[in-house]
Amino acid sequence: MMSGTISDTTVSSSTPAQAIPADVSGQMLDLDEDDDLEVFSKNVTLTDGSSADASMHTSPGSMVNQYRFEEEDGDADTKDIFVTVDSPESHVTAIETFITYRVVTKTTRSEFDSSEYEVRRRYQDFLWLKGKLEEAHPTLIVHPLPEKFVMKGMVERFSEDFIETRRKALHKFLNRIADHPILSSSEDFKIFLTAQAWELTSHKKQGPGFLSRMGDTVRAVAASVRGVKNRPEEFTAIQEYVDAFSQKMTSLDKITQRIVKEQKEYLDELKEYGPVYTLWSGSEEALVDPLKSMAGCLDRCCRETEEQIRQLSENLVPTLHEYVLCAETLKAVLRRRDNIQAELESKSEALATKKADKEALKEEVDKLEDRLEWANNALKGDWSRWQKSTRNDLRATFVTTAEKNIDYYEKCLAVWESFLLSQKTSVSDGDVGGGSS
């Protein structure tokens, strides 16, 4: 998947011969779960098409700026629905404590009665929307929601950091739907954006009954147990890609969280380091200036390290974990596609062997064939779209991380270079003073 750039292996419904290669795992980062990550881009393509290798005398900052990006989708001018999630509020009742978020929608679409809406939604409302979209479009890729419960060892639930992280994830979730050519036209999405709380509650109750949902679950389990006999090769290739993608993203997610944890521990130690030099300067009259300078340098390095940790925590960590969840979403989509095919195969076998009720069974098989064809085409089209979006998203995240790391190390380097310069100047002044006396 990633080797300097992120490969764009897509599946096109019009050109099945150019589907994902059978061996896609070699395009992924070869990284074991517990290995340390050490990836360097040896060759960078410059904006003029030339190649720069690591030995060129080019500043790190300029190398980042020269990195070539492909254009984004370029549909910003044609976008007709904009959604913002902000202003979280805490609600405490006798039964529970929960957070609601303001959802503001601005649109020029004719199916909306107004051009602007403002509602408040809680997490379970987002969860309902995701379920309805997956129910209506089982082989479209609905962007994952953040987990309901915070991961052990991370920030506390309902803390400001947790709420802000969740707000950003919910904002991204809705905007992924708003940008989707099919999902954005869903009636459930429109109701989610526009209905008042009591209207949404009423709409939720209109869903399929418990027995109907149970029946769907039983059929899905039965289909998954049977499995599929003749899955098209292109979907097998997608499955292999997703499995490899999931493994690598899980490894990167774990390593990055470990790095952030170690950086926080390093920062705690660094904060204890500077005051020792300050205390020492009180008992070493001849070393007062260099000791205080050391303390000052360490203090500035602490501030820069805090900023670097913040950047990693707010940029890289959430994105990597988001794509761990994306991989699970993709697996679920592929399972639903297989379930449709498995049910079709089962009905087709019954039609071939059963003598009675052939007309009714034939009609059911025809409907399943149409459903499978639609599901396959929907998945192939959405897979291509998802890969392009993923490539752009991950690339932007990695480049931002590179920029922030360069900025961090350059600032720390400048701190220590200024210390060295001050000490050389001090020594030089001392020599001159000694000669004149």
Residue 305 CB: number of other CB atoms within 10 A? 19
- Number of domains within the chain: 2
pLDDT for res 12: 40
pLDDT for res 404: 95
Q: Mark whether 252 and 371 lie in a shared domain.
A: yes
Of 245, 235, 241, whose CA–CA distance to 342 is shortest? 235
CA distance 105 to 127: 19
Q: Is residue 45 part of a domain?
A: no
Q: Mark whether 195 and 242 lie in a shared domain.
A: no
Q: Mark whether 296 and 426 lie in a shared domain.
A: yes
Domain that holds residue 294: 1-30+234-437
Provide the token pair at 354: 């059963």
Question: Ramachandran region of residue 31, left (φ > 0), alpha (ψ -120 to 50) or beta?
Answer: beta
Q: Which residues of the chain have pLDDT under 70?
A: 1-77, 149-158, 207-226, 355-356, 427-437
Q: Is residue 67 part of a domain?
A: no
Helices 358-436 and 233-281: crossing angle in degrees, nearest 10, is: 30
pLDDT for res 222: 56
Provide the token pair at 247: 């493994």
pLDDT for res 217: 57
Contact between 146 and 164 under an 8 Å Cβ cutoff? The reply is no
Contact between 27 and 1 under an 8 Å Cβ cutoff? The reply is yes
Q: Which of 358-388 are b and which e, b meaning 16 or more Cβ less than 10 Å from the residue's Cβ?
A: eeebeebbeebeebbeebbebbbbbbbbbbb
CA distance 95 to 337: 40
Of 311, 318, 273, whose CA–CA distance to 291 is shortest? 273
CA distance 239 to 268: 44
pLDDT digits (tens, 9 = 90+) for 201-232: 998 888 665 444 545 555 555 555 567 888 99
CA distance 171 to 83: 8
Which letter does DSSP use for residue 151 in this model? P
| CATH number of 97's domain | 3.30.1520.10
Domain end: 199, 224, 253, which one?
199
Q: Is residue 227 part of a domain?
A: no
Share above pLDDT 70 across residues of the chain, in percent, rounded to a whole number: 73
Q: Is residue 206 part of a domain?
A: no
pLDDT for res 207: 66
Q: Mark whether 301 and 388 lie in a shared domain.
A: yes
Which letter does DSSP use for residue 83 in this model? E
Q: Mark whether 272 and 359 lie in a shared domain.
A: yes
CA distance 344 to 350: 10
CA distance 12 to 380: 6
In terms of C-beta density within 10 A (0-12 exposed, 13-18 middle, 19 or more buried), how is residue 417 classed? exposed
Q: Is residue 191 part of a domain?
A: yes
Q: Mark whether 283 and 423 lie in a shared domain.
A: yes
Q: Is residue 421 part of a domain?
A: yes
Of 281, 275, 279, 263, whose CA–CA distance to 299 is shortest? 275
Q: Mark whether 259 and 165 lie in a shared domain.
A: no
Of 261, 262, 44, whose CA–CA distance to 151 is shortest? 261
How far does Cα 434 stand from its chain's mean position?
63
CA distance 175 to 184: 9
Residue 275 CB: number of other CB atoms within 10 A? 12
Contact between 21 and 1 under an 8 Å Cβ cutoff? The reply is no
What is the maximum span of the chain, computed from C-alpha positions, in angstroms? 119
Q: Mark whether 272 and 149 lie in a shared domain.
A: no
Contact between 244 and 326 under an 8 Å Cβ cutoff? The reply is no
Give the H or E element holding residue 89. Answer: strand 81-92
| CATH number of 12's domain | 1.20.1270.60
Question: Ramachandran region of residue 49, left (φ > 0), alpha (ψ -120 to 50) or beta?
Answer: left
Helices 160-178 and 123-136: crossing angle in degrees, nearest 10, is: 30
Q: Mark whether 295 and 383 lie in a shared domain.
A: yes
Q: Is residue 40 part of a domain?
A: no
Q: Mark whether 132 and 241 lie in a shared domain.
A: no
Q: Mark whether 267 and 365 lie in a shared domain.
A: yes
Q: Is residue 222 part of a domain?
A: no
pLDDT for res 430: 58
Of 338, 147, 335, whose CA–CA distance to 228 is shortest? 338
Q: Mark whether 270 and 406 lie in a shared domain.
A: yes
Contact between 109 and 191 under an 8 Å Cβ cutoff? The reply is no
Provide the token pair at 133: 């979209």
